[in-house]
Amino acid sequence: MPRFGRSLRLVCALAAFTATAPALAQSVAALPDQTSRIRLSNRDVNHIVCVGGDIDDVKFSAEKGLAVERGGSDAWVKFLVLETDDPNIEGGGAKTRTYVTTPSEFFVSCNGAIYPLYAEPADMPAQTVTLVPGAAQRARANDALLGPLVEEERAVGIVLALLQDRVPASFSEVAPSRERLTLPDLPSITISERRRLDIEGAGLSASEYLVSTSNQVALEERNFLDSALGPDIFAVTLDRLALGQGDSARLIVVRRSVGQ
């Protein structure tokens, strides 16, 4: 089994990669090369964030009454407010504000891909639009992260990323199985998949399982080299090997993808 002592270089790379990824909470997500229909505030400044890279350009129609500024991984969109004198109020000085209601199209260049955005202005708070990497971008990022490493170091780094909850943004989340598993050699334990990752461009996938038992049991990692946990298993790691009644352990399984 891979040993953690050989993984320092990859752990540092994973920490640097995840530290630069902005939080995705409370954001509208958009994917590259497909039009995303979004709603933006026509009163406040809206924020666009390129995950893992810089915004190189934003194409839009300025005559539709909006302004765009960009810098680094961020861009800001503001629909302009038209102020006119109100002829119905005597004495002058009173203004009538007219807010933009006409939709606008944006073409944002981020991480070597184009994100077409169809934005509908609305009376709402400022919005954040997160430009999420597509499959090709995730594969490039994973190749840059894992490509220089030997296969054993890749597996160790993936295991640590899951155990430390520092999963890079380029690892794709896949819906875990809801089926509870049992193994013939370990009839007293139950295995439930909690998380599954597809690591595009690296030819690897990984799952985190919760292993629970109703009896005291001693485990070995080789007990889980079973096809019930997926084909072509490359690495298996447990965070604890001795379980008492009602205890549980975290099990990480790394697989080679089919066809790799």
pLDDT(153) > 60: yes
Please report how the helices 151-163 and 8-20 are oriented relative to each other, as an axis angle in degrees rounded to 10.
50
Q: What is the pLDDT of residue 251?
A: 95
- Element at 78 (helix H, strand E): strand 74-79
Instruction: Report the alpha-carbon distance of residue 252 to residue 209 in Å, rounded.
Output: 6
Candidates 2.60.40, 3.10.350, 3.30.420, 1.20.120; CATH matching 25-131:
2.60.40
- In tens, the pLDDT along 108-144 reads 999 889 999 999 999 999 999 999 888 888 888 888 8
- The SS3 of residue 4 is helix
pLDDT(206) > 80: yes
**Domain residue spans of the chain:** 4-16+137-256, 25-131
> Which of the two residues, 82 and 94, has the higher pLDDT score?
82
Mean pLDDT value across the chain: 84
> Which of the two residues, 194 and 19, has the higher pLDDT score?
194
Looking at residues 248-259, what average pLDDT do you find?
A: 84
Report the C-alpha dihedral over residues 191, 197, 200, 204, rounded to 10 degrees: -30
pTM across the whole model = 0.62
> Which of the two residues, 238 and 4, has the higher pLDDT score?
238
- In tens, the pLDDT along 155-171 reads 999 999 999 989 988 89
pLDDT(27) > 90: no
pLDDT(260) > 50: no
pLDDT(204) > 50: yes
- In tens, the pLDDT along 11-22 reads 334 444 444 444
Instruction: Report the alpha-carbon distance of residue 103 to residue 37 in Å, rounded.
Output: 10
- Based on its alpha-carbon atoms, the radius of gyration of the chain, rounded to whole angstroms, reads 25
Let me know if 21 is exposed, middle or buried by CB neighbors in 10 A (0-12, 13-18, 19+): middle
User: What is the 3 state secondary structure string of 184-250?
Assistant: CCEEEEEEEEEEEEEECCCCEEEEEEEEEECCCEECCHHHHCCHHHCCCEEEEEECCCEECCCCEEE
